Each structure stands twice: as C-alpha cells, then as structure tokens.
C-alpha cells in the first residue's frame, strides 16, 4: 500500500498568524496518525514562518516513525536535522519570497550543496529524498549524489487543465517513476494533490509514498483532522 505522509505546516501557519500557542501542530500530528497517516511531514523553513524548532523537537518525541523533515540544503538546518534525527529528510529548494515550494530542486545545478547535505545527513543515519521535477537527468543526478529516494513534484500535474494536458503530465510522472525505480531509487510524490486528482496518481506502478498538506488541512477545518485523513485514505483506495 502507498504510504501517506500528512504535511501539517498549515496548522502552524494559523498559530503563527497570532504568535499564539494554538492550534498546535503536534496535536494535529496525533490526530493525523489516528486517522491513518503513515507519517508526518513538516518543513522547517529558514524564515520559520510556520513550523518552529520546538515543534520539530516535540514531534520527534511523539511521532514514532515516518517523521519526514522538508528542508533546504543549508548548514543551519542540516545541523538541526542531525541533532533531531527525523526518519527522513526531503531536500527542497527554498526562496524567501515564495508562498510555497516552487518547482523541484536543481540537483544538477546545485551539485555541491546537495552532495554536502546528503553526506552529513547520511552520516547521522538519516535517509535522504530529493524533491525534483520528473526529469531523467535530475533523477540520475539524485542517484549519483547518494539519495535513496526522489519525491517527484506533482505541481505541474495538479495545475494542468484539460484531459490531454493532464494525461500528458501523468505519462511524464509514470515514465520518471519507471526510470527512478530502474536505477534503484524509491519514488515519492507530492505537491498540489487533493481528494480528486490523487486517484490517477496512486495507479502509477512503483509509487511508494505521497506527501499531502494543503487539501487535507483545508478539509480538516470542517471535518476534523482524523476524518480528513481517513477520507484521503479512502480517495487513495478508490
Ligand atoms: N512535498 C513537498 C516537497 C512540499 O514542499 C509540499 C508543500 O509543503 C508538499 C509535498 C505538500 O504539498 P501540498 O501542501 O500542496 O499538498
């Protein structure tokens, strides 16, 4: 079965809107796990706009497995990751002015910083995935630099309009998955997935993990986090 990692950053965004104590992303993580999440994903950004260092530390104490830290390949955050030791790190590109992660990491262009980050994280026994575009050159470079997994960005698929364009993006993801698997990489996907567009994605052979945030947290406002996660699990089965 495909694993579901629930990204709870938006819960922290609501808390930071008031610099208050609630809602606590740690509570959201507990309810997400009760609803059937296999893991919890958080992005500790350099500007700390949502998840705080405290959240990561408490999550490490409360999430028994499947804690996935999204982060930029920068020394400050690498050091935090090596101390907290999440089960997995997913390296992502990060720009201060962006609303959310835009596009995949340019593994080819940022060869040195990515290699440096992977080496340090692997030394701390942390498994590393790279968030990349579904592109064979980026996949090959990820393997060369020592990643164990790639998270293929599904934003382009999610934003595609019209059947032909959606089908084209699905084929791109299918081809990239087959290529990554053929060279021994695990394949994850995420970004922009929701209760409707997830269905064709879960049929892609070789896909092992999804990371979904916005749609689940949005639904949780109305139905609660545990039910929102249960419903995503049902959507993934259907
Ligand atoms: N994967 C990565 C690498 C991301 O940066 C994000 C957004 O934080 C997600 C998955 C989840 O995307 P969404 O919130 O659109 O479901």
Check which CATH number belongs to the domain holding 110 and give it. 3.20.20.70
> Residue-wise over 82-97: b if at least 16 C-beta within 10 A, else e?
eebebbbbbbbbbeee
Q: What is the mean pLDDT of residues 162-172?
A: 98
Residue 95 confidence (pLDDT): 78
Residue 98 confidence (pLDDT): 73
Candidate from 213, 215, 235 with most ligand 1 atoms within 8 A of CB, to mutate: 213
Question: Which residue lies with its CA nearest to atom 9 of ligand 1?
Answer: 191
- Estimate to the nearest angstrom the gap between the alpha carbon of 165 and the chain centroid: 24
Q: What is the mean pLDDT of residues 29-46?
A: 98
- Gap from CA of 89 to ligand 1 centroid (Å): 13
- How many Å is the maximal CA-CA distance in the chain? 48
Q: Say if ligand 1 is within 6 A of residue 70 CB.
A: yes
For 148, which DSSP code? S
Q: Which residues are catalytic?
A: 43, 70, 191
Has residue 215 got a pLDDT over 90? yes
Instruction: Quick: pLDDT tens for 95-144.
Output: 767 777 678 999 999 999 999 999 999 999 999 999 999 999 999 999 99
Is residue 12 classed as helix, strand or coil in its secondary structure? helix
**Residues 41 and 214 sit within 8 Å (Cβ to Cβ):** no
Residue 99 confidence (pLDDT): 74
Please tell me the distance from the alpha carbon of residue 22 to that of residue 189, in angstroms, as a whole number.
Answer: 30
Q: What is the mean pLDDT of residues 160-176?
A: 98
Residue 205 confidence (pLDDT): 98
Candidate from 40, 47, 70 with most ligand 1 atoms within 8 A of CB, to mutate: 70
- Gap from CA of 9 to ligand 1 centroid (Å): 9
Please tell me the distance from the alpha carbon of residue 47 to that of residue 28, in angstroms, as a whole number.
Answer: 22
Domain count, the chain: 1
Of 6-15, 94-103, 193-202, the range with the lowest mean pLDDT is 94-103
Q: Which domain holds residue 71?
A: 3-237
- Gap from CA of 212 to ligand 1 centroid (Å): 6
Please tell me the distance from the alpha carbon of residue 67 to that of residue 143, in angstroms, as a whole number.
Answer: 22
Has residue 33 got a pLDDT over 80? yes
Q: Say if ligand 1 is within 6 A of residue 104 CB.
A: no
Has residue 238 got a pLDDT over 80? no
Q: What is the mean pLDDT of residues 78-95?
A: 96
- Gap from CA of 191 to ligand 1 centroid (Å): 4
Is residue 109 classed as helix, strand or coil in its secondary structure? coil
Please tell me the distance from the alpha carbon of residue 14 to that of residue 173, in angstroms, as a whole number.
Answer: 33
Instruction: Quick: pLDDT tens for 148-165.
Output: 999 999 999 999 999 999
Q: Percent of the chain having pLDDT more than 90?
A: 95
Please tell me the distance from the alpha carbon of residue 2 to that of residue 54, in angstroms, as a whole number.
Answer: 30
Residue 102 confidence (pLDDT): 73
Q: 193: how many CB neighbours lie within 10 A of its CB?
A: 26
Residue 9 confidence (pLDDT): 98
Mean pLDDT, the chain, whole residue set = 96
Question: Which residue lies with its CA nearest to atom 3 of ligand 1?
Answer: 131
**Residues 238 and 6 sit within 8 Å (Cβ to Cβ):** no
Residue 103 confidence (pLDDT): 84
């Amino acid at each position: 079965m495909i694993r579901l990692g629930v990204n709870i950053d938006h819960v922290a965004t609501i808390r930071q809107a008031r610099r208050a104590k609630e809602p606590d992303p740690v509570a959201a993580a507990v309810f997400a796990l009760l609803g059937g999440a296999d893991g919890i994903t958080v992005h500790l950004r350099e500007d700390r706009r949502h998840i705080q260092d405290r959240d990561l530390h408490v999550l490490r104490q409360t999430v028994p497995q499947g804690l996935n830290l999204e982060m930029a390949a920068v020394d400050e955050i690498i050091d935090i990751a090596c101390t907290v030791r999440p089960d997995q790190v997913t390296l992502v590109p990060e720009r201060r002015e962006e609303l959310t992660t835009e596009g995949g990491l340019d593994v080819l262009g940022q060869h040195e910083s990515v290699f440096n980050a992977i080496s340090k994280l692997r030394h701390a026994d942390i498994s590393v995935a790279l968030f990349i575009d579904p592109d064979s050159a980026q996949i090959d470079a990820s393997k060369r630099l020592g990643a164990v997994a790639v998270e293929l960005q599904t934003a382009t698929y999610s934003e595609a309009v019209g059947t032909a364009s959606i089908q084209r993006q699905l084929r791109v993801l299918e081809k990239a998955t087959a290529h990554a698997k053929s060279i021994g990489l695990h394949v994850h996907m995420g970004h922009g997935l929701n209760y409707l567009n997830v269905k064709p994605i879960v049929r892609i052979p070789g896909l092992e993990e999804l990371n979904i945030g916005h749609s689940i947290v949005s639904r949780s406002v109305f139905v609660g986090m545990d039910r929102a996660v249960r419903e995503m699990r049902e959507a993934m089965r259907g």
